[in-house]
Structure 1
Amino acid sequence: MKIIAYTYTDPLLEPSPDQANWGWEVDAVYQDLGKRTQLQQLLTDCETEPANYLLIRRLEELGDSVEEVSDRLNALEAMEVMVIATQQPYTSENSHLRVELLNLLHEIQRQQRSHRIRQGHARNRLDAAPPPGKVPYGYRRGQGKYTIDRSTSPVVKDFFEHFILYGSLRGSVRYLAKKYGKKISVTTGRRWLTNPVYRGNTAYHNGEIISNTHIPIISQQEAAQVDRLLRRNSRLPSRTASAPRSLAGLVLCSKCQSHLTVTSVTQRNQDKEYLYLRSISCPKKPKCRAIPYQEVLENTIETVCRDLPLAVAGTNSPQLDAVKNSLGEAIARQQEILAQIPALIETGILDAQTAKLRAYKLRTEISALQAKLATLPPVNLRSVAQAVSLPQFWLDLSETERRFYFREFIKQIEIIRQDKNWKLQVIFIF
């Protein structure tokens, strides 16, 4: 008994299947990639030495139309080759063959229509053309790519600049509504901040990203800063990212393990405001007492100025530099290969279709490496630490500016209570 198998794969849409993944002991496998030359060879071989069984995944792999599928099934039936579709309810030994074929015709037509649509989208990806769907605010379609919309892109640019300056998503959303009358939800604002299109990249539904396909609204440095701010804010309690006080969301009571919130107290007939840090949900009885906000702020500044340079010095900078150099070298190698493709087309080593596939793969790999590189901390961390270790630096800042810098370096501030006194411990991010 002779068993053969056949697969057809469109290289634009899927990788080649595993030859051994049939569940049968197969004598020969015919594989086509893009064109059906091996299918013709299969039919020729069956004329001289017919097989008993032919395994295929789906009937539509036998042709690009229902007519082609039907003709090839008739040819195989005439040679007494039993066809078994492993992913469809079809086998030619069934006496209800024609009924099954009629039931499958509609599905085959639908699959082939879907296949042609997906092929069109895949070709667009190879040309780095935008995917179908609504164009992101700030852009419009033009000449096969995204182009800047000069009437709306300043709104998006201002939104990003406000977020980078203050690190508050909700605050940036409110700023947009107040200055431009552009009302968006917080969810939409978060999508803007993470949308690759605003960074000059094109993202597709398969999750792949191609870099530098059009003019960006924000630079790579700004994009890296946005990502760092988003990661930083994700560690904070809800709604504290936009809180007006610099210590909001950072302070924890080590005794009751409750986060401390900033509360204000005023006296009757007096304008002066007194700020305290109070436990949000203290389970102790009596509850942990409130602490003057200004005292904690002054102690935090003193601790940061004293301990931050030591903490930065303890980071493994040589190892970090090695990782950055390794990623940079990998990006450079891929770019060199990409630059060689036009010459390979001219010499006939690569045809245009294969060259496009190779270039697409290289560009997505470069984008992935660049994304890894962007997540690493800045190289000038030590010089920054030296600059911010001066008390006067902190005292000259507003509360909003202090909030930004505190969250760049501080993961948490623990209040350690000792009878009626207390001390604090600053835990840095690195």
Structure 2
Amino acid sequence: MKIVAYLYSDPLLESTPDPEMWGWEVDRVYQDLAGVTSIQKKKGSRKEVTGELRPQWQQFLNDSQAEPAGYLLVRRLEELGDSVEEISDRLTQLETLGVQLIAIDSPLSPPFNPTPHTPHPTPHTPIQNSPPSSDLLQLLQHLQYNQRSRRIRQGHARNRVKALPPPGKAPYGYRRGKNRYIVDRSTAPVVKDFFEHFLLYGSLRGAVRYLAKQYGKKISASTGQRWLTNPVYRGDLEYQNGETVPDTHEAILSRDEAAQVDRLLRRNRRLPPRTASAPRSLAGLVVCSQCQSPMTITRVAASRKAQEYLYLRPTQCPNQPKCGSIPYDQILQQTIARICEDLPRAVSGAPLPDMDRIKQGIGGEITAKQAILEQLPNLISTGILDQETADLRSYKLRTEIAELQAKLAQLPPANLTAIAQTVSLPQFWLDLSESERRFYFREFIRQIELVRAGKDWEIKLGFIF
């Protein structure tokens, strides 16, 4: 008994399936790709495209005339054609050849477990996927739905390959142009100001409150989070399949600013909820070493007096008596002193990778792929590549470039030693506000541990690197 398989796939929608995917041994696999055309040479011109064919299907039919196969395996019935009529014609061809069809992913197909004793089908053997009349309507509806879904996905995929915006409303700050997003001059300044406020203070909720107060633009924190991570504001397009195409339209957020936003978001994820926007710089950083409880900031005001005092106290202390509170200003001054003393030593002793070498390597890969992109128009003009193949190759190269750019943006700054030297000067901290101190604390410090020794105490800094 001869068993063959047929695969049909669209490179725009899926990766090329593995011919060995069937789970058992087949005699031959015929495989066609969507977009393959028949090309004939014509006198006086180089090439003429005569239309889309399925050359491997034709080869299967020719081989079956000489030596009919017993079974033909396909993944889904709709892979036999681009319409119900084409599928019906190919089912008739198989029935004429006496080949039984097995669609392994079809809901109406029975399981296929071939054995060495399976009889060879005769020309009168019914096609395996020919359903009873009660299932015929269900099968037609299933095929029509899948074909319509496939056509819609193919249309979206063609737009994706051409780097056209996805369907739907343009993000706030943009409007839809003919082939790309265009900056909306009336709303883009609002988005730009939102990003600048977040970069200055590192607080998402603070930036959301700023928009509501400054522009009357009320958005939720989750919407602000989507703005911060949306590739559209960086000049890129991200599609439903998760792939990103860079530099498709004018950006509101520069590459350097986007890298800083990503670094701030990663930093804030390490902190307890709602402390990223807390007004005090030590919020969410201090932990009591004795009870391992995080410490929160409390305010105490004297009766009938405007002056108030700040303290840090444990929130979940199990000890009896509970660990006492410590004045906030004392811990703040001790933290600044420890940073000035410990940070340069920690940076010099940390096993930091060679950032310059890593960035040069990634930059070289990006340059090489951009050089290939620049060669594609010449390959089209000389007839080496057709337009569809070139568009697909360009799309894949651009998504690979986007991945490399994202990897490059996640690297820490190469001048970390110089930054540490500047931050380690006591004068640097004198004129900073609490919000500015919060920014720099969280850039370097992972945790501040309060070590108690009776009534005395000291702090120990845990740096991020």
What TM-score results when the alignment is normalised by the length of structure 2? 0.90
Please say if 1:20 is aligned against 2:23.
no
Q: Per-residue deviation at 1:197?
A: 0.5
Q: CA deviation at 1:96?
A: 4.5
| Structure 1 residues without counterparts, runs of 5 or longer | none
Q: Answer yes or no: is 1:381 the counterpart of 2:416.
A: yes
Give secondary structure in 1 for the equivalent of 2:72. Answer: strand
Instruction: Tell me the distance in 1 between the aligned counterparts of 2:239 and 2:343.
Output: 42
Larger helix proportion, structure 1 or 2? Answer: 1
Aligned residue for 1:371, secondary structure, equals: helix
Partner secondary structure for residue 134 of structure 1: coil
Deviation (angstroms), 1:143: 2.0
Q: 1:94 to 1:262 in 2, by over 3 A?
A: closer
Q: Which residue of 2 aligns with 1:90?
A: 109
Aligned residue identity for 2:295: L
Relative to structure 1, the CA distance from residue 300 to residue 46 in structure 2 (aligned partners, 3 Å threshold; closer, same or farther) is same
Listed one character per residue, the Cα deviations across residues 313-365 of structure 1 (whole Å, up to 9, x for unaligned) are: 22344533322222112211211222221122122221111111111111111
Shift, 1:4, TM fit? 1.2
Aligned residue among 50, 57, 63 for 2:81: 63
Matches within 5 A, 1:114-125: 114-125=149-160
Counterpart of 1:274, as a letter, is Y
Give, as a single letter, the amino acid of the residue that structure 2 aligns with 1:346.
Answer: S
Hey, what's the Cα distance between the residues in 1 that align with 2:421 and 2:319? 40
- Paired with 1:288 and 1:11, the residues of 2 have a C-alpha distance of 64
How many aligned residue pairs are there? 430
Q: Which amino acid aligns with 2:19?
A: Q
Where does residue 10 of structure 1 map in the other structure? 10
- Give CA-to-partner distance per residue, 1:346-395, whole Å, 9 cap, x none: 22221111111111111111101110110111122111111111111101
- 2:88 maps to a residue whose letter is S
- Please name the residue that 1:246 is paired with: 281
Q: Deviations over 1:145-203 (max 9, x none)?
A: 11101111111111010000011111111111111111111111111110110111100
8 A contact 2:101–2:129 mirrored in 1: no
Aligned counterparts of 1:344 and 1:172: Cα–Cα separation in 2: 49
Q: Indicate the residue corresponding to 2:402 in structure 1.
A: 367
- Secondary structure at the aligned position of 1:90 is classed as coil
Q: Measured at CA, do residues 94 and 424 of structure 1 come closer, stay the same or move farther in structure 2, by a change above 3 Å? A: closer
Q: 207, 210, 223: which one pairs with 1:172?
A: 207
Q: Which of 320, 344, 347 is equivalent to 1:309?
A: 344
| Superposition pairs of residues 196-207 of structure 1, within 5 angstroms | 196-207=231-242
Deviation of 1:93 after TM superposition, in Å, equals 4.1
Considering only aligned residues, what root-mean-square deviation do their CA atoms show, in Å?
A: 1.5
8 Å CA contact 2:295–2:315 kept in 1: the answer is: yes
Once residues 110 and 361 of structure 1 are traced to their aligned partners in structure 2, the CA distance between those partners, rounded to angstroms, is: 29
Matched, 1:74 2:92: yes
For 1:252-271, what aligned pairs fall within 5 Å after superposition?
A: 252-271=287-306
User: In 2, distance between residues paired with 1:319 and 1:32?
Assistant: 47
Does 1:273 pair with 2:292? no
**Over residues 265-318 of structure 1, what are the superposed CA-to-partner deviations in whole Å (9 max), with x where a residue is unaligned?**
111232222111111111111010100111111111111011111112223445
Q: Which TM-score applies when normalising by structure 1?
A: 0.97
C-alpha distance in structure 1 between counterparts of 2:438 and 2:130, whole Å: 77
Find the counterpart in structure 2 of residue 42 from structure 1.
60
Tell me which moved more, 181-190 or 259-268: 259-268
- Tell me the distance in 2 between the aligned counterparts of 1:94 and 1:145: 45
Aligned partner of 2:109: which letter? Answer: Y
Q: Could you say if the C-alpha distance between residues 274 and 423 of structure 1 is closer, same or farther in structure 2, counting changes exceeding 3 Å? A: same
Give the residue type in structure 1 aligned to 2:401: I
Match of 1:298 in 2: 333
2:191 matched residue in structure 1: 156
Q: Which residue number corresponds to residue 113 of structure 2?
A: none
Contact 1:200 1:212 in 2 (8 A): yes
Distance 1:227 1:119 in 2: 33
Paired residue type of 2:282: L
State the alpha-carbon separation in 2 of the partners of residues 95 and 426 from structure 1: 73
2:363 equivalent to 1:320 = no
**Are the counterparts in 1 of residues 75 and 103 from structure 2 also a CA contact under 8 Å?**
yes
After superposition, the Cα gap between the structure-2 partners of 1:7 and 1:110, relative to the gap in structure 1 and judged at 3 Å, is same
Q: What is the rounded CA distance, in whole Å, between the counterparts of 2:241 and 2:267 in structure 1?
A: 28
CA contact (8 A) 2:102 2:129 kept: no
Judge conservation of contact 2:103–2:129 (CA < 8 Å) in 1: no
Separation of aligned partners in 1, 2:25 and 2:263: 54
1:185–1:142 CA distance, 2 compared to 1 (3 A): same
CA distance in structure 2 between the aligned counterparts of 1:231 and 1:412, rounded to whole angstroms:
15
The percentage of aligned residue pairs carrying the same residue is 64
Match of 2:118 in 1: none
Q: After superposition, where does 1:395-406 map in structure 2 within 5 Å?
A: 395-406=430-441
Q: Aligned equivalents of 2:239 and 2:63: distance in 1?
A: 41
2:41 is matched with which residue?
Answer: none
Q: Which residue pairs with 1:231 in the alignment? A: 266
CA distance in 1, matches of 2:175, 2:143: 36
State the shift of 1:103 in Å: 2.9
- 3-state SS of 1:427 partner: strand
**What is the CA-CA distance between 1:402 and the residue it aligns to?**
0.8
The question of whether the paired residues in 2 share the 8 Å contact of 1:90 and 1:100 is answered with no
How far is the alpha carbon of 1:13 from its aligned partner? 0.6
